[in-house]
A and B are shown apart, each in its own frame.
Chain A
């Protein structure tokens, strides 16, 4: 149904971002927290509007913007993630350096990019969304202007990110030249017809996939991720770990879903993706073993998680992928939030040694962090277990047993480094005096909500699975 309503949620977010930027220039320094409240208000408004569009199938701009249920579900996911990131960032941003109101504005712009990416089936619109996301991400990574690491991560993200975009654009050009179309249905028709230009088309598709593999940090296109994750401000890292990844996978399943029933598992592309998934899981987890900086360790863990998500794509399990992304959002933001709980004025505590004895000194934070770590490692009854379980079962049913064996092996490796943090927290004497800023209600609210999400989804995932079922119906 062609309706202007399809654009309104996006307009709310973009409008709020512009107002935040303008107010940022005019407001006094001590009033910058109002910008956070304004952004949260916009997120709630966008959420209500999107909820009204559920099952509506609204489209606009000649079908270029398509609010189907899959797009709406991911939009909800992003809204929650960005709301969490704003809440955990409020105190952090003012503690680390000057209170940058740009943090909220850029996050909203990045969110609008994510929303554009997931709610279109036309590659040019997807590319524009990706660029809106990327350009705001580059500046988000460098937000701590006085910090060397932060600037370095911004420049690395910028170079590798725009390098990847160039691949993507060139791939699109070749696809356009061979298939005469850039919308996903048109491309699918072209590849199913199998005409003479197939080779050039596959080259184009390969370049596009390389571009996306950079963005979702799949080995061997992951080299930017650890540095960027380590240097960026921690709330921004939490955003990077879920936002671009989820949007990239959304595009990937939109592109590959039409093939799931038609000889997908015998094609050449399948073998290529299979190898990437195996490599990503193994390399991510193995390199994470020897990290002493926890943010960097989480960066490698998030690379490994991209590998698990790729299994869901290979198994043709869209519902499993969305469920996995939902759970990963809660776990990842919870884990990074726990790291923020330990940061103090002008300084962060990210080294493994900083966590020695934290479990006794701050029992609540220690316990909550431990739950997130156990969930990331995949222990029942947390949601992390259920997420991997669903995906692995779906993969075994599709005859991907060797890949699942590799995945299980990789998860076993990962247990070691997640548990190492818990061991440090509970079984080591403190090396350094670490004090925690306790007056940060927004952060504790987020930690509590993430904990609730991880346990609720691990024990009673029924409601969310029902929504996901409706969302995936739009894809197939």
Chain B
């Protein structure tokens, strides 16, 4: 069997990849996907750590995080859609109406 520690390492890698993608990608949907990867990395970490410590609370927590991520996705995609309707693009460079 694969030890839970490996899954934890995988989750750390995923989380770091999410951070990198968030900073290097230049359009809203991809950045949003990076955030989803980070949240799911956290889910994986919770499950891996729950497995290694035989603590079932974490599985309940994962349910909550999934729901929260869905709520965020619905609101976030709606906001991105709003931007797309206005600007016909979702590149982040176009979001520059405020300076200072």
Q: Are A138 and B75 within 8 A (Cβ)? A: yes
Q: Are A159 and B28 within 8 A (Cβ)? A: yes
Give the interface centre of B32, B64, B68, B71 by most chain A CB atoms within 10 Å.
B68
User: A154 touches which one: B8, B64, B71, B79 (CB < 8 A)?
Assistant: B79
User: B100 touches which one: A162, A170, A182, A226 (CB < 8 A)?
Assistant: A226
Per the bound structure, the CA–CA distance linking A50 and B21 in Å amounts to: 45
Binds B, one of A26-34, A90-98, A172-180: A172-180
User: A148 touches which one: B31, B39, B79, B86 (CB < 8 A)?
Assistant: B86
User: What distance in Å separates the Cβ of B28 from its nearest Cβ neighbour in chain A?
Assistant: 6
Report the count of interface residues on B (CB-CB < 8 A): 41
Mark contacts of B14-53 with chain A using CB atoms, 8 A cut-off: 1 yes-contact digit, 0 otherwise. Answer: 0100100010000010011001001101100110111011
Mark contacts of B48-80 with chain A using CB atoms, 8 A cut-off: 1 yes-contact digit, 0 otherwise. Answer: 111011010110010011001001100110111
CB contacts (< 8 Å) of B68 on chain A: these are: 127-128, 131, 165
User: A177 touches which one: B15, B22, B52 (CB < 8 A)?
Assistant: B52
Give the interface centre of A148, A152, A227, A296 by most chain B CB atoms within 10 Å.
A152
Q: Does B83 contact A (CB under 8 A)?
A: yes
Considering only CB atoms, which chain B residue lies closest to A291 in the complex?
A: B100
Q: Are A151 and B35 within 8 A (Cβ)? A: no
Q: Are A177 and B53 within 8 A (Cβ)? A: yes
CB contacts (< 8 Å) of B52 on chain A: these are: 177
Q: Does B2 contact A (CB under 8 A)?
A: no
- Scan residues 152-204 of chain A and give those whose CB is less than 8 A from a CB of chain B: 152-156, 158-159, 162-163, 165-167, 169-170, 172-174, 176-177, 180, 182
Q: Does B82 contact A (CB under 8 A)?
A: yes
Q: Are B100 and A158 within 8 A (Cβ)? A: no
Q: Does A139 contact B (CB under 8 A)?
A: yes
Query: DSSP class of B's interface residues: helix, strand, loop or mixed?
Result: helix
Q: Are B98 and A158 within 8 A (Cβ)? A: no
Per the bound structure, the CA–CA distance linking A182 and B65 in Å amounts to: 15
Q: Total number of A-B contacts with CB less than 8 angstroms? A: 119
Q: Does B1 contact A (CB under 8 A)?
A: no
Q: Are A159 and B32 within 8 A (Cβ)? A: yes
Considering only CB atoms, which chain A residue lies closest to B76 in the complex?
A: A158
Considering only CB atoms, which chain A residue lies closest to B72 in the complex?
A: A162
CB contacts (< 8 Å) of B71 on chain A: these are: 131, 135
CB contacts (< 8 Å) of A131 on chain B: these are: 68, 71-72
Question: Interface size class for chain A?
Answer: 35 or more
User: What distance in Å separates the Cβ of A450 from its nearest Cβ neighbour in chain B?
Assistant: 27
With A131-B72, A148-B97, A296-B100 as contacts: A155 and B80 at CB distance below 8 Å: yes
With A135-B71, A166-B35, A169-B39 as contacts: A180 and B53 at CB distance below 8 Å: yes
User: B42 touches which one: A134, A138, A170, A291 (CB < 8 A)?
Assistant: A170
Q: Does A102 contact B (CB under 8 A)?
A: no
CB contacts (< 8 Å) of B95 on chain A: these are: 152, 155-156
Q: Does A7 contact B (CB under 8 A)?
A: no
Per the bound structure, the CA–CA distance linking A290 and B100 in Å amounts to: 8
Considering only CB atoms, which chain B residue lies closest to A228 in the complex?
A: B98
CB contacts (< 8 Å) of A124 on chain B: these are: 61, 64
Per the bound structure, the CA–CA distance linking A173 and B64 in Å amounts to: 13
Per the bound structure, the CA–CA distance linking A145 and B15 in Å amounts to: 33
Q: Does A142 contact B (CB under 8 A)?
A: yes
User: B39 touches which one: A153, A166, A177, A182 (CB < 8 A)?
Assistant: A166
Q: Are B39 and A138 within 8 A (Cβ)? A: no
Per the bound structure, the CA–CA distance linking A409 and B73 in Å amounts to: 43
Q: Which residues of B contact A (CB under 8 A)?
A: 8, 11, 15, 18, 22, 28, 31-32, 35, 38-39, 41-42, 45-46, 48-50, 52-53, 55, 57-58, 61, 64-65, 68, 71-72, 75-76, 78-80, 82-83, 86, 95, 97-98, 100
- A139-B75, A142-B79, A162-B76 known; 10 other A-B pairs, CB under 8 Å? A131-B72, A155-B80, A155-B95, A159-B32, A162-B39, A165-B68, A166-B42, A174-B49, A176-B46, A291-B100
Q: Which residues of A contact B (CB under 8 A)?
A: 124, 127-128, 131, 134-135, 138-139, 142, 145, 148-149, 151-156, 158-159, 162-163, 165-167, 169-170, 172-174, 176-177, 180, 182, 226-227, 230-231, 290-293, 296
Give the 8 A-B residue pairs with the shortest CB-CB distance, closest first: A177-B49, A166-B38, A173-B45, A169-B42, A170-B42, A131-B68, A173-B46, A227-B98
